[in-house]
Amino acid sequence: MALMDIPTTFKITSNEKKSLTYLEKIRWTNGIICPKCYSLNAKLISYRDTNIYYRCGKCYFRFTLFTGTYLNRCKLKPSKLILLVKLFSLGLSARITSNELGLNYRTVLFLFDRIRQAILYHNRGNDNLFGEVELPVFR
């Protein structure tokens, strides 16, 4: 999937519902899928600020947009997450990103690390990664 340009990013992130719909389409191309039983009978049950939950109509498992993904416990608003990924893709540091988005530095650092891990995972076995690859430093 190609990354959005800045005008498109701003247009989508100016609206939380649009941002959520955008992320849902990335996660579930053909409709919401329960991460536990893979049923397509799941729906949004709670949508308030960062409390966004879905429930499976088959096994009743409650999950978020990020359950079972690299961003498992991510509690950012959809718009902030899209902007964070955009700034990451532009190569901005975690420090600058945290200042620009008004987010905690360690939160941004953690999410940047998770994004890098996801990129490495999805490129395993390929030679697509070349040049400078920034990796998290574990202390």
Contact 42, 54 (CB under 8 A): yes
Which is nearer to Zn ion, 40 or 120 (by Cβ)? Answer: 40
Q: How far is the CB of 73 from Zn ion (least distance, A)?
A: 20
Binding site for Zn ion (CB under 5 A): 34, 36-37, 39, 56, 58-59, 61
Per DSSP, what are the bridge partners of residue 52?
47
Which is nearer to Zn ion, 62 or 75 (by Cβ)? Answer: 62
Q: How far is CA 65 from the centre of its chain?
A: 8
Q: How far is the CB of 114 from Zn ion (least distance, A)?
A: 24
Q: How far is the CB of 72 from Zn ion (least distance, A)?
A: 17
Contact 44, 32 (CB under 8 A): yes
Which is nearer to Zn ion, 59 or 133 (by Cβ)? Answer: 59
Contact 113, 136 (CB under 8 A): yes
